[in-house]
Amino acid sequence: MSKTPVIFRPIGIIHSEHTNAERTPIQPVYARECMGQAEVFPEFAEGLRDLGAFSHIYLICHLNQAGAPRLKVKPFLQDIERGVFATRAPCRPNAIGLSVVELLRVEGNVLHLAGVDILDGTPLLDIKPYTAKFDRIEITRNGWQDEVDEKTASRRGKRGYSES
Amino acid sequence: MSKTPVIFRPIGIIHSEHTNAERTPIQPVYARECMGQAEVFPEFAEGLRDLGAFSHIYLICHLNQAGAPRLKVKPFLQDIERGVFATRAPCRPNAIGLSVVELLRVEGNVLHLAGVDILDGTPLLDIKPYTAKFDRIEITRNGWQDEVDEKTASRRGKRGYSES
């Protein structure tokens, strides 16, 4: 049945300098200087083979600190209420996080990363390579985000990170 | 605890022309002419507000026909075994699918889509806007995919779809 609950088991855990959700950058683009690691549990380490040749990867996480889901939210970048699926806000019906981070190197079962926008201790559910063939869409309409200028987006997206 | 299982509940279901996994294109880029719908269950429809102004969206699905997970797989595009996390193969430890599809229009709780590479009846877990600010990475190293020429990738990526 299409409404049957789905059970996933974490494949690893995120280590980062972000311990306060209120001061965590909202996306990798606002966290370029934030280093971190994805520690993959040893039983899955074999699945990391060949990953080190990709410069960017998707991390799919369980945002276990997201709080109660809401269907309407004010996104971090703008003070106008939007449908939650038109935002990347964490308080979604299923608290799934999606981040494109830079993969610096792979050491055994540990991925060293830059652009980490994820809270320390967040469970990791999946890793996928980001590839130009599949994921770089050249021309997009970006909805309400096109109303937000780069300077404002950068200031609000960092959530005080670079001023600390 | 970081290894605690995570439970998600589908927010909707995918409708597509793909009823045979063996003949389903492997990614939206090889399924441009494949139309489909994401039917969001009515209780979540309010979360779709403002989404129609985005041209592309991520669909995060539960690949419930993926079969047993494997840590090493031959990707669809190449006959060389790779670590599963260096591929987008469905047979992952957590069978999570990630597709960037084109959003044609929103009608109530139904999203009309192009570039659908997802099997009919697949449970939908989350929808996120794809945005140039967050998701378009201009320069990437693409690992083993850089070894596959476009013509071969297109032929193999369609999995016979366009020849049917």
pLDDT in tens, A6-27: 999 999 999 999 998 888 888 8
**pLDDT of amino acid B162:** 58
Please indicate whether, in this complex, the C-beta atoms of A134 and B55 are within 8 angstroms of each other: no
ipTM of the complex: 0.94
Q: Which of A111, A25, A6, A121 is nearest to A64 (CA)?
A: A121
Please indicate whether, in this complex, the C-beta atoms of A123 and B85 are within 8 angstroms of each other: no
> Rounded mean pLDDT of chain A?
92
* A27 closest CB neighbour out of B40, B134, B143: B134
Best mutation target among B1, B3, B6 (most A Cβ atoms within 10 Å) is: B6
Q: Using H for helix, E for strand and C for coil, what is the string for B53-66?
A: HECEEEEEEECCCC
Compute the average pLDDT of residues B4-22.
94
A105 interaction partners in chain B (CB closer than 8 Å): none
**pLDDT of amino acid B68:** 96
Q: What is the pTM of this model?
A: 0.94
Torsion angle defined by CA atoms of residues B80, A42, B143 and B152, in that order, rounded to the nearest 10 degrees:
30
Q: Which of A131, A123, A147 is nearest to A15 (CA)?
A: A123
Best mutation target among B43, B50, B149 (most A Cβ atoms within 10 Å) is: B50
pLDDT in tens, B80-102: 999 999 999 999 999 999 999 99
What is the count of residue pairs from A and B with beta carbons less than 8 Å apart? Answer: 245
A145 interaction partners in chain B (CB closer than 8 Å): 129, 131-133
- Tell me the C-alpha distance between B5 and A12, whole Å: 12
- Decide if pLDDT at B139 tops 60: yes
State how far Cα B99 lies from the chain centre.
3
A119: three-class secondary structure by DSSP: coil
- Decide if pLDDT at A134 tops 60: yes
Residue of A nearest to B128 (CA): A85
